[in-house]
Amino acid sequence: MTWLVWRQHRNQAYFAAAALVAFAVLVLITGLQMASQYHSALTACTVSHSCGNLANTLTLGTPLLSLLVTLTVVVPCLLGLFWGAPLVAREFETGTSQFAWMQSISRGRWLTAKVGWALLAAAAWGGAVSALVTWWSSPANALNQQNFQPGQFDIQGIVPVGYAVFAVALGIAAGTILRRTLPALAVTLGVFVFLRLVIGQDLRSHYLTAVTVIYRFGHAWRHPTGSYWLIAQGLIGPGGHALNTPASFSGAAVNGVPIAEIPATCRALAFQPNLKLTSCLASRGYHGFISYQPASRYWAFQGIETGIFVLLAAALIAVTAIVVLRRDA
Amino acid sequence: MTDFQSAALPAIATRGLAKHYRKRTALTDCTITVPEGRISALIGPNGAGKTTLLRLLAGLATPTAGEVAVLGATPGRDLALLAEIGFVAQEIPLYRRMSAEDHIRMGARLNPRWDGASVRQRLESLSIPLGQAVGTLSGGQQAQVALMLSLGKRPRLLLLDEPVAALDPLARRQFLATLAEAVAAGGLTAVLSSHLIADLERTCDHLILLAASRVQLCGDIDTLLAEHQVLVGPRKDTTAIERDHTLVHAVRTARQVTLLIRRKGPVIDPAFEAADVSLEELVLGYMGQDAPPAFAHLTSVGEDQ
């Protein structure tokens, strides 16, 4: 059966391998450049004692390159569309399932071989792309400490493996239930994007309870270090109520709180130097707060998110197996 | 299981077999027996349930009701049985990008008693290129590849859905000869479906006639022909005949009446002229077509799909 799976899909495998090699070459060349750029900048700033400001002065790579690497976020989805959805659906569509199922092997063995190799290939391919991206991003991770942020979190580490396995399982299940490739593609795309967004935006920040620190202005407090993930920040008024902190606000703000929300007496001091605004707020009993996921939880979050997608994939494969074993060819 | 393996038991036996889809009855109350070693013609108009019956026998579909035993086992449940059945679906599904040689190698990996050498030899004798992607072969050549692959499994039962529809007359004759040879060599039973009896008449010795999702007739062709008769007589009361025999079909014109009957004894009414029935008249009679034999012959020469 392995022979048949390979014979059927070897062209896809060759194409995928070629694309991976091309990507690897690009990543290796630019990655080495960026690493040496970062290290020479680090050496230079150590001499001039200006390393604290390095993240603001040094830009690694080019925007185009960063965009290309960020675009690897769609790789799992593409695997689901091109490997997952047609895997069983094409066989139903062309009737070859009737041919394969009349050989002297059980449907279970047929499905196991096909699904097993597809998932393995997805994990390997997703893992390889992610490994390259993770390595490529390591200078930027050290410099900007943004690898816990949504966007970077999704293309590094082990989560891309979970996404890839899930996407392919989703494609297989959709193709098996719908028996047609095109509708299966549409369902795979829709469900995958929906779940990724819902889990990434609404669920991920709650995997572990965020650490919240409330601090008084003008006093020393434990500021999070490293690549922590900022969940929320803002101001707490003297009555203990938090000031309105809009999700996205691009104007002038203090701790994310728009200037307009600040008491009028302090507002006038907003653009004056020497932190006059902060002292004004502090003297009126305002506190700052920050809610975040510490950098130390990065791998725990990677593990939890990967686990969620792998479990979803397992459920989809179980459904696929039931449908294939029970339904007519 | 052991009982069924004795030669006396039929290759196929079904009782009350039925397959319903959500809104449609594809097959109902199907009770048939096909003895071992027969080449059975499964005849019926389009949509009569031929494909459904073959898929139920192959285990590709599960029955809604009734029982089915193929070579003594239940299709779809028994892996050992799967190795004994050769099946070619109507649309001749093959992996289009794979060559015939690839399919032969695949067969060797997935079947216990694979005879790749004979498949190669048969395809070569038909001048079918083994190394070329089957998707680029002609429809007839693809059909030949699929049919020869089904024989390569060395099955004890061959189920072929419209196998000759895609073949030209010469290829048709060659294939049916190959099949007859394989059955004559022993240990093989075959069921071939077609909507035209003329396609299979010379090769088959057994008939299953389906119409409107029901079995109309099932048995050895010689026996069936001997049991039926055509009576032609002046137009008069036929109740006496209908009482003594089973009236299958009647064509009444102003001056005479032509009756197809299943005899329950000798016909002794002197008003009627009795004649042997041809296989085509028999089939058309049970399908309820009104065409008299002369026209029925013309009908059967028509294009198949």
Render pLDDT for A70-110 as a digit per residue (tens, 0 to 9): 999 999 999 999 999 999 999 999 999 999 999 999 999 99
Domain identity same for B157 and B23: yes
Domain identity same for A128 and A151: yes
CA A133 to the chain's CA centroid = 12
Residues B186-193 have a mean pLDDT of 93
Q: Give the pLDDT of residue A75.
A: 96
Q: Give the pLDDT of residue B305.
A: 35
Report yes or no on B251 lying in a domain. Answer: yes
| Residue given tokens 């690493």 in the structure block | A35
Instruction: Give the helix ranges, DSSP H, for B50-196.
Output: 50-58, 79-82, 100-110, 116-125, 139-152, 169-184
CA distance A89 to A95: 10
Rounded to 5°, the CA angle B197-B198-B202 comes to: 100
Q: Give the pLDDT of residue B154.
A: 93
Instruction: Kindly give the pairing relationship between strand B157-160 and strand B189-194.
Output: parallel
Domain identity same for B49 and B157: yes
The domain spanning residue B164 has which CATH number?
A: 3.40.50.300
A249: domain range? 211-295
Render pLDDT for A243-285 as a digit per residue (tens, 0 to 9): 777 767 777 777 778 877 787 778 877 777 767 788 888 888 8
DSSP string for residues in A115-128:
HHHHHHHHHHHHHH
Rg, Å, chain B Cα set: 21
**Tokens read off for A25:** 């070459």
Report yes or no on B264 lying in a domain. Answer: yes
Instruction: Kindly give the pairing relationship between strand A253-254 and strand A257-258.
Output: antiparallel
CA distance B139 to B168: 10
Chain pair A-B, CB pairs under 8 angstroms: 66
**Band of the pLDDT at B289, cuts 50, 70, 90?**
low
Domain identity same for A136 and A234: no
Lateral strand order in the sheet of B157-160? B85-88, B157-160, B189-194, B39-43, B206-211, B214-220
Where are the strands (E) in chain A, listed by range? 211-216, 229-236, 253-254, 257-258, 287-293
**Tokens read off for A267:** 């507002």
- Give the closest residue to A285 by CA, choosing from A228, A216, A234: A216
Report yes or no on B2 lying in a domain. Answer: no
**Tokens read off for A119:** 């998932």
Domain identity same for A178 and A108: yes
| Predicted TM-score of the model (pTM) | 0.88
Render pLDDT for A186-240 as a digit per residue (tens, 0 to 9): 999 999 999 999 999 999 999 999 999 988 877 778 888 889 999 988 888 888 7
Report yes or no on B305 lying in a domain. Answer: no
Domain identity same for B57 and B104: yes
- Which of B148, B182, B212 represents a domain boundary (last residue)? B212
CA distance A13 to A2: 14
- Give the closest residue to A294 by CA, choosing from A224, A194, A218: A224
Which residues neighbour B146 within 8 Å (Cβ) at sequence distance 6 or greater? A99, B88, B92, B93, B94
The number of C-alpha atoms within 13 Å of A256 and in the hemisphere containing its C-beta is 18
Asked if the Cβ–Cβ distance from B86 to A102 is below 8 Å, we say: yes
Helix (H, G, I), strand (E, B) or coil at B89: coil
Interface with A, mutate which of B19, B60, B70, B119 (most A CBs under 10 A) = B60
Whether the CB of A323 is below 8 Å from some CB of chain B: the reply is: no
**Tokens read off for B217:** 């007739």
Whether the CB of B62 is below 8 Å from some CB of chain A: the reply is: yes
Beta carbons of B217 and B286 less than 8 angstroms apart = yes
In order of A288, B12, B162, B253, the CA distances from B191 in angstroms are: 84, 10, 10, 38
Domain identity same for B142 and B244: no
Domain identity same for A159 and A21: yes
Beta carbons of B146 and B86 less than 8 angstroms apart = no
Domain identity same for B185 and B244: no
Beta carbons of B286 and B216 less than 8 angstroms apart = yes
| Residue given tokens 């994990």 in the structure block | A123
Q: Which of B5-14, B181-190, B275-284 is the least confident region?
A: B5-14
Domain identity same for A167 and A99: yes
Report yes or no on B1 lying in a domain. Answer: no
Report yes or no on B227 lying in a domain. Answer: yes
Is the model more confident about A261 or about B299?
A261
Rg, Å, chain A Cα set: 25
For residue B208, the cross-strand partners are B42, B218
B187: domain range? 12-212
CA distance B232 to chain A (A): 48
Chain B, 112 to 141: residues with Cβ < 8 Å from chain A are: 112
Asked if the Cβ–Cβ distance from B93 to A98 is below 8 Å, we say: yes
Q: With 70 as the cut, is the pLDDT of residue A146 above it?
A: yes
Domain identity same for B145 and B274: no
Beta carbons of B217 and B200 less than 8 angstroms apart = no
Residues A180-185 have a mean pLDDT of 97
Whether the CB of A105 is below 8 Å from some CB of chain B: the reply is: yes
Domain identity same for B187 and B276: no
**Tokens read off for A278:** 């902060």
Q: With 80 as the cut, is the pLDDT of residue B168 above it?
A: yes
Whether the CB of B151 is below 8 Å from some CB of chain A: the reply is: no
Q: Give the pLDDT of residue A72.
A: 94
Q: How many domains does chain A have?
A: 2
Q: For residue A7, what is the nearest residue in chain B, using CA coordinates? A: B98
Helix (H, G, I), strand (E, B) or coil at A110: helix
Rounded to 5°, the CA angle B103-B109-B114 comes to: 80
CA distance A224 to B55: 67
Q: With 90 as the cut, is the pLDDT of residue B76 above it?
A: no
**Tokens read off for A248:** 């996205």
Question: How many C-beta neighbours within 10 Å does residue A312 have?
Answer: 18
Render pLDDT for B219-248 as a digit per residue (tens, 0 to 9): 999 999 999 999 998 877 788 888 888 888
Domain identity same for B254 and B154: no
Return the top range by mean pLDDT from A281-285, B53-57, B254-258: B53-57
ipTM summary value: 0.85
CA distance A136 to A72: 12
Domain identity same for A176 and A322: yes
Domain identity same for A126 and A157: yes
Domain identity same for B177 and B244: no
